Chain A
Amino acid sequence: MTVTAVTPTARAAWTKGATKLLRRPTARLGAGIVAIFLLLTVLAPLLAPYSPFDQDFAAALQPPSAAHPFGTDQYGRDVLSRVMYGTRIALLSILVADGFGLVVGTLLGLIAGFYGKWVDSTVMRIVDVLLAFPYLLLALIIVAALGPGLLNSMIAIGVVYTPQYARLIRGQVLSVKTTEFVLAAQAIGANRARIMLRHILPNSFTPVLVMGTLSAGTVVVETAGLSFLGMGSQPPSPDWGAVLAEGQGYFLTAWWIATFPGLAIFAVVIGFNLLGDALRDHFDPRRRKE
């Protein structure tokens, strides 16, 4: 049995890598936004001044004030609390949709790249067909089939991302599988699953990590977009897209209902984009030189 432990050297290397990564101010800004976003998902119940569902018709459609910093909606619900709780749905969408695309796409790309021949041809032709769809259209078709709902919209977006991950990892696998350490593992008789999972996958994974971070932001926008269209979360969910859609009807008289969830989406996307860009520059030797 192998015992893996984080040695002091590994920890030092990680700290050094993280310090180097966060040297640029844009990377720090991105990491800061993502950290606040993640903290809010955990601390929402402690920090939110009200429940996101509690209605108070006497306080309906109030503009931002000390009692309600982001104002209230048509049912008197506190918009700040709804935006705070919305971080949880946004995180869930990243975990489910981006996670689905990442896991399924990585497995497909790994198998296609490793086995080659007809397996590769079959998987990549399916990938080509899925990539031939505009992403939003494919997501809508899948939601049309599964029925509107948060989980279905997340699965739909996960399916949309799957071919992109599959293509990316396949390219990596094709180059890594001819390296000497893989040939050596084959020579000592390691089985295929071990070669794939212990040798090829860890050495092909960096670009996937970068793509996963960059996609996290777009996944949040797309899930919110589907909810905005009525295809994702349904009221009274504090999903940012659903809150925006509800606020749309009152937009000209109560601008705050739709404005703040939109700003939250915007901030999260910028955070992940900045962090993803920094990761890409960090791991790509050509860009590092620049």
Chain B
Amino acid sequence: MIQYVIRRLIQLIFVLIGVSLVIFLTMHVLPGDVATMLLGDRATNLQLENLRRQLGLDQPIYIQYLRFAIGAIQGDFGLSLRSNRPAFDDVWTAFPVTIQLSLAALAFAIAVGVPLGVVAALRPLSRFDNIVMTVTLFGVSMPIFWYGLMMILVFGAFLDWLPIGGLMPIGVEPPRVTGMSVVDSIIAGDWNLVITSLRHLVLPACTLGTIPVAIITRITRSEMLSMRSHDHVRTARAKGLPEWRVVLKHVLRNALIPVVTVIGLQLGLLLSGAVLTETIFSLPGLGRLMINAILARDYPVVQAAALFTAFLFVVVNLFVDLSYAWLDPRIRYR
């Protein structure tokens, strides 16, 4: 296992170098000159040249990349062109919002998806199974940005059950410790704040979690069905175990190994896919930060947010692979 981990970590380094190269090169084929963009059209040639020298834009491209890579390792992406703060500080401030939303969406997806998949697999092709499969097909086909608006319309406007946007009501905020509104509210020990922050999280988390619910339901169902015909399950039945015990101990337990992998992969996708949900619900997360930075052509922030998100995605996927290798020895000896 240790050899496998070392091999994967070495691969990770190469992937991260590749990812950073893609981000760096993409930003450098930009139409337009960064110096002109910063100083405006009225800047003199001398001013432009000075700024280019100051930013290192007069250096050969490989030197620029090395400076970028060394800066990135130290968390230094330069100053945001909008806020004039270090770009990575903006990313670090937005990150807890995205991670809280993604974890809540994943919790929702697991809580709904796994039981639905299990129950559907108990009686395949029954009416319930057909309904579940149809609804999950709708779930995977859902344009998330539209679905979010529908949730707002139904639960926020018509029924008036839940708040329709933001992390907290305006002017109400727990003292910042982690940046995650629910956790900070718990740390503050104010249960009213905890309930308020949870109420604000429900609609975005359900919106973001809908596609993962559909995917987790489908994979749980299909793994349960394929596991049912295995020899060890037949043996368990043959020795007279009650059906619930066969399902829970012998079918579900083994079927969950690939489901765990899918759940892990979903987390990586949720972290990066939260951009649409954050936009609809006005949440100041990483995705929203990146969109605003792109629209304002704030490239230090775009680079910092992109590299940080890609890094998270790659690391989460590495952990998923490692957990899978840990659960299934055949992988690590391949």
Contact bitstring A254-288, B, C-beta under 8 A = 1, else 0: 01001101110110011001100000000000000
Interface centre among B14, B142, B145 (most CB of A within 10 A): B145
**Shortest Cβ distance from residue B151 to the other chain A in the assembled complex, whole angstroms:** 11
Q: Which of A134, A142, A148, A241 is close to B272, meaning CB atoms less than 8 Å apart?
A: A134
Q: Are B309 and A137 in touch, CB under 8 angstroms?
A: yes
Chain B residue contacts of A269, Cβ below 8 A:
141-143
**Shortest Cβ distance from residue B36 to the other chain A in the assembled complex, whole angstroms:** 15
Check: B63 CB closer than 8 A to any chain A CB. Answer: no
**Shortest Cβ distance from residue A5 to the other chain B in the assembled complex, whole angstroms:** 39
Q: Are B27 and A144 in touch, CB under 8 angstroms?
A: yes
Residues A120-150 near B (CB distance < 8 A): 125-126, 128-130, 132-134, 136-138, 140-148
| Given A134-B268, A137-B309, A244-B146, A144-B18 contact (CB < 8 Å) | no
Check: A251 CB closer than 8 A to any chain B CB. Answer: yes
Residues A138-182 near B (CB distance < 8 A): 138, 140-148
A69 to B31, CA, bound (A): 43
Check: B216 CB closer than 8 A to any chain A CB. Answer: no
Secondary structure call for the B interface:
helix
Chain B residue contacts of A221, Cβ below 8 A:
143
Q: Which of B15, B137, B145, B269 is close to A228, meaning CB atoms less than 8 Å apart?
A: B145
* Closest chain B residue to A221, Cβ basis: B143
Chain A residue contacts of B153, Cβ below 8 A:
251-252, 255, 259
Residues A8-42 near B (CB distance < 8 A): none
Chain B residue contacts of A225, Cβ below 8 A:
143-145, 276
Q: Which of A132, A145, A263 is close to B27, meaning CB atoms less than 8 Å apart?
A: A145
* Closest chain B residue to A258, Cβ basis: B149
Q: Are A270 and B141 in touch, CB under 8 angstroms?
A: yes
Interface centre among B149, B271, B272, B279 (most CB of A within 10 A): B149
| Given A140-B294, A251-B149, A228-B276 contact (CB < 8 Å) | yes
Q: Are A141 and B295 in touch, CB under 8 angstroms?
A: no
Check: A231 CB closer than 8 A to any chain B CB. Answer: yes
A136 to B294, CA, bound (A): 14
Chain A interface, number of residues (Cβ within 8 angstroms)? 45
A146 to B147, CA, bound (A): 29
A266 to B147, CA, bound (A): 10
Chain A residue contacts of B291, Cβ below 8 A:
140, 229-231
A136 to B313, CA, bound (A): 12
Chain A residue contacts of B2, Cβ below 8 A:
none
A125 to B18, CA, bound (A): 9
Chain B residue contacts of A266, Cβ below 8 A:
138, 141-143, 146
Contact bitstring B116-148, A, C-beta under 8 A = 1, else 0: 000000000000000000000110111111110
Q: Are B294 and A231 in touch, CB under 8 angstroms?
A: yes
Q: Which of B19, B31, B294, B313 is close to A143, meaning CB atoms less than 8 Å apart?
A: B294
Chain A residue contacts of B309, Cβ below 8 A:
134, 137
Q: Are B313 and A134 in touch, CB under 8 angstroms?
A: yes
A140 to B27, CA, bound (A): 11
* Closest chain A residue to B25, Cβ basis: A145
Q: Are A133 and B22 in touch, CB under 8 angstroms?
A: yes
**Shortest Cβ distance from residue B21 to the other chain A in the assembled complex, whole angstroms:** 8
Q: Are B306 and A141 in touch, CB under 8 angstroms?
A: yes
* Closest chain A residue to B279, Cβ basis: A229
Check: B273 CB closer than 8 A to any chain A CB. Answer: yes
Check: A237 CB closer than 8 A to any chain B CB. Answer: no
Check: B302 CB closer than 8 A to any chain A CB. Answer: yes
| Given A244-B149, A266-B142, A140-B18 contact (CB < 8 Å) | no
Q: Which of B19, B31, B302 is close to A133, meaning CB atoms less than 8 Å apart?
A: B19
Check: B203 CB closer than 8 A to any chain A CB. Answer: no
Check: B260 CB closer than 8 A to any chain A CB. Answer: no
Chain A residue contacts of B140, Cβ below 8 A:
273
A-B contact pairs, 7 of them (CB 8 A): A132-B314, A137-B309, A140-B290, A145-B30, A228-B279, A263-B146, A270-B137
B interface residue numbers (CB < 8 A to A) = 14-15, 18-19, 21-23, 26-27, 29-31, 137-138, 140-147, 149-150, 152-153, 157, 268-269, 271-273, 275-276, 279-280, 290-291, 294-295, 299, 302, 306, 309-310, 313-314, 317
10 nearest A-B residue pairs (beta carbon)? A262-B146, A134-B272, A129-B18, A269-B141, A144-B294, A145-B26, A265-B143, A270-B141, A228-B145, A137-B272
